[in-house]
Amino acid sequence: MGEHFLDVKEALPRVGGNEALYRRLLGTFMEDERETAVQVEGALRNDDRDTAWKLVHNLKGAAANLGAKPLASAAFELEMAIRAGADTAALLGRFSRTLTDTLVAMATYRSA
C-alpha cells in the first residue's frame, strides 16, 4: 500500500540521496499538512476559495517533491475545481482520503 502512495526511489535523488534528510522532510510534511483537508473544507464552506486554493496548491508542490504522486494528483484536480468555481465535494473527499493514506505511508516509511 505505502509504495503506491509514496515513491521514495523517485524522491531521494531530489535530496541528494540523503535518506536522513528525506525522513526529516517527511516528518515536517506530516506535521504541517495533517489538518490541511479540514482547513480546505472549512475555507470552502466559508466560500473562501482563495484560501482553499492556496492550501491545496502549497500541499501539491510539497507532495510532488516528496514523491507522493497520488496526493499531488488529487491536489491538482481539487485545485483546478476550486479555481474554476466547480463543485468540489467529490474531489475534496478523494483529496482527504489520499492525504490520510499518504500520511500513513509516510509514517510507516519513517518508522521502518
Strands (E), the chain: none
What's the pTM value of the predicted model, to 2 decimals? 0.94
Mean pLDDT score of the chain, rounded to an integer?
A: 96
Q: Report the pLDDT value the prediction gives residue 2, as an integer from 0 to 100.
A: 55
For domain 2-111, give its CATH number from 1.20.120.160, 3.40.47.10, 3.40.109.40, 2.60.40.10: 1.20.120.160
State the Cα–Cα distance between residues 88 and 70, nearest whole angstrom.
18
- pLDDT tens-digit series, residues 31-79: 999 999 999 999 999 999 999 999 999 999 999 999 999 999 999 999 9
Alpha-carbon distance values, 11 to 51, 83, 106 (Å):
28, 28, 12
Q: Which three cell numbers stand for residue 86?
A: 466547480
66 Cβ contact partners less than 8 Å away, ≥ 6 residues apart: 6, 11, 22, 25, 26, 29, 106
Length of the chain: 112
Mean pLDDT of 68-95: 97
Q: For the chain, which residues make up each domain, given as ranges?
A: 2-111
